[in-house]
Chains A and B, each alone.
Chain A
Amino acid sequence: DAMVIQNPRYQVTQFGKPVTLSCSQTLNHNVMYWYQQKSSQAPKLLFHYYDKDFNNEADTPDNFQSRRPNTSFCFLDIRSPGLGDAAMYLCATSRVVGGTDTQYFGPGTRLTVL
């Protein structure tokens, strides 16, 4: 089945220790998104790629970076995680950019920062 896969499902890191979260898709979608979802809060868009074009949200901290080496894979790098970065990180894909186009979400990676 075509799907969005996130690895790992659970990640524990230490304060200040860089961490990378992975997302892959078999849908061959052009757009890949990264969202941050904290407990009892709305998912918050961090950035998205349309093909190789990177689009950063204005309020995304510099601590968060992303790479998309090919259509299938996208990575979220947190350079120096703080306690406030503990959250569920959701990857999503869509064919095109646009709210009416369905976004398909992965199961998320829950990040714990010690």
Chain B
Amino acid sequence: TQLLEQSPQFLSIQEGENLTVYCNSSSVFSSLQWYRQEPGEGPVLLVTVVTGGEVKKLKRLTFQFGDARKDSSLHITAAQPGDTGLYLCAGERGNKLVFGAGTILRVKS
């Protein structure tokens, strides 16, 4: 059983569409991070959220940390083919990161 559940597992959309991916847990995290991993590469940090209810924006990406700090969402506006990749959430637990299994996003042109 994954401590962090990500949904959907796979998402294939057309360029220009909007999408939201979710990261859920029954546990509280002191912080949560989102990474993007491209094929054959290591994960790259996109954002860290720390405060319950916090919203952070990174260009067309909007990240939200749930009020109870148990869940998070990533919303992408007007997706582009360059957004294609594996999106991983990771929660801080005892000074370590626990990763979800990720959402594979494919944006078709």
Binding site for B on A (CB under 8 A): 4, 6, 9, 40-45, 48, 90-92, 97-100, 102-108
Residue of B41, B91, B95 near A97 (CB, 8 A) is: B95
Docked CA distance A99–B4 (Å) = 15
Query: Which residues does chain A contribute within 8 Å of B33, judged by CB atoms?
Result: 99
Known interface pairs A4-B42, A42-B102, A99-B29; 8 further A-B residue pairs with C-beta atoms within 8 A, sorted by A's residue number: A9-B40, A44-B99, A48-B96, A99-B30, A99-B31, A100-B50, A103-B45, A106-B42
**4 shortest A-B CB distances, which residue pairs?**
A99-B92, A105-B42, A42-B99, A42-B101
Residue of B29, B41, B93 near A107 (CB, 8 A) is: B41
Query: Which residues does chain B contribute within 8 Å of A45, judged by CB atoms?
Result: 96-97
Docked CA distance A86–B93 (Å) = 27
**Which range contains the number of B residues in contact with the other chain?**
20 to 34
Q: Is the interface of A mostly helix, strand, loop or mixed?
A: loop
Produce 1/0 per residue, B38-74, CB < 8 A to A.
Answer: 0011111100101000000000000000000000000
Query: Which residues does chain A contribute within 8 Å of B90, judged by CB atoms?
Result: 99
Query: Which residues does chain A contribute within 8 Å of B44, judged by CB atoms?
Result: 105
The residues in B between 65 and 109 inclusive whose CB is less than 8 angstroms from any CB of A are 88, 90-93, 95-102
